[in-house]
Structure 1
Amino acid sequence: MTDFAYSIVLTPDEDGGFLAFVPDLQGCMGDGDTPQDAVSDVMDATSAWMEAHTDRGGEIPLPGDSKARFDAVMKEREEYIEKLEADLLEANRTIRKLKAQSVSKSGGIGQFFTNSFQAA
């Protein structure tokens, strides 16, 4: 069997840890608590992916065959990050607006804290 050098994409997972995937091998991914764990996991997954793929009669793609898919995944990732940042900014604006409304209705910041402590 010929050895290939596939690219591995490593990204932080939103729930903690790291995700790793091989863009040339559709669906081949791994994860781990550290970048090293995620890379190790995806390397194990790569071997299993290749074995399963060849068992089904598929050909192993050459590294770089899926550059367009890789570019699409990276674009999708960037769009997701941009949307997340916009959502966080909007949430921050909403929180500030609600705080300002609450303070103004309660008679100022001093009254706001007094009311807050009395309510508790």
Structure 2
Amino acid sequence: MMLIGMNWKLITLGILLLLIIAMGVVIYKTGKPYNHFSFAVQKLGIVAFVVIATGILINFGKNSCIHTTLWVLITTSGVSMVTILFSGALLSLDKLQKSMQIAHKISSFTFLLFIIGTFFLVYKSQIGY
């Protein structure tokens, strides 16, 4: 039964991640002034993603021994998320535009890779592989 709940949570995270990426592309393509609706949807999606992901990882940590590889992925994902939030805030304030765009793109890509790896390992350990 736990696996079914985990599947829905992972599917929800995947949908939220796609929504966050889509809104980021819309915000990037429309440029300044930013569309407030897209901006708000992206921020709410990020908050929901972080809350659900944190809940999954806390529950997983209570029920399982977390392998070193998973800790590295979780930590790197967290650092990438902080960098995304920081660079996004500076981009919206028109600070260090070019360097923050580069930092935002790189950290978004690394976050995507590491969060997929994190939840792949969580899922894999839940199904017993």
> If the length of structure 1 is used for normalisation, what is the TM-score?
0.29
If asked which structure has higher relative contact order (CA below 8 Å, sep 6+), I would say: 2
Give 1 or 2: higher strand fraction.
Answer: 1
> If the length of structure 2 is used for normalisation, what is the TM-score?
0.27
Asked which structure has the greater CA Rg, the reply is: 1
